[in-house]
Amino acid sequence: MRGAKDPTKAFRRSGRAGRRAGCLCTQRVIDRIRRNTAAITWALAWFIGMAACGALGVLLLRAIGFAGVRRRSTS
């Protein structure tokens, strides 16, 4: 492939330029991991929050005597 950049080329360089390019490449990977971790954590917190709100809503409806909420069987 003509003109394609090799992502590992930065690690093969020698001297200060190679170290700087290697650090930039590593920082990009760290930033990507940080973004992905934040997105996954946000989605998990959203799901847990929605489940908790739904459960609390059912409990409150049952507490006021709403007829449409089934009781759990205690067998």
* Span 12-56, pLDDT tens digits: 555 666 666 677 788 889 999 999 999 999 999 999 999 999 999
Integer angstrom CA distances of residue 21 from 13, 14, 27, 28, 55: 9, 10, 10, 11, 51
Cite the beta strand spans of the chain per DSSP E.
none
pLDDT, mean of residues 52-61 = 92
**Whole-structure pTM over 0.75, yes or no?**
no
Tell me the pLDDT band of 11, cut-offs 50, 70 and 90.
low
pLDDT at 65: 86
Q: Rounded to an integer, what distance in angstroms lies between the CA atom of residue 11 and that of residue 29?
A: 14
Which sequence spans correspond to the domains of the chain?
9-63
Considering all CA atoms of the chain, what is the largest pairwise distance in Å, rounded to the nearest integer?
76
